[in-house]
Structure 1
Amino acid sequence: MIADNPDCKIELKAFHAEILNDHHAIEKEVNGYKELPLIRKIDNAIVHYNYLDIKKDMAHIIQTEMEKLLSNPGLMHLIIKKKL
């Protein structure tokens, strides 16, 4: 199988379907696109802070749920204990 541009036909290919596009209309639409406005600048420090904050939140959720399971005898069977 090979890939090609829709406007460049290749006879010997495994996939023979054809998609009909109006390339001029698509180009006109693309040329009319406007750039998205910048809402705020994101740098690596912000991303790293968010990562650590999410990681902390997840650890808190896990700890809370484990405490619920361990304190309820009816739910203790859901805990899988690793054999060392």
Structure 2
Amino acid sequence: MSTPPRDQPAVRRIDRVLAFMSLGIVVLSIGCFLAVIIGTSSGVEDFSTGAWPIVFVVQMIGPIIAFALLLALLIMSFIRRGRASRAD
């Protein structure tokens, strides 16, 4: 296996985990949004029972959490690249 170029630091496992968690939460949030749209158009009248409250919470909080994860990933990436450039 070849080594990464000298100017680019290697991608760590935590970076991948944060990226995929953020993507997964965004996809889940979009799915919940679509479920609410489909539920509303199909005539569901009682959104306060069953799994609907959880769907609403995921739809509202999911993008915020995904943005926070992406922001953490971006900050970690900047710190890692800064340390790598200082080491050279």
Q: TM-score, normalised by structure 1?
A: 0.40
- Higher-Rg structure is 1
Q: Which has the higher helix share?
A: 2
**Greater relative contact order structure (CA < 8 Å, 6+ sep):** 2
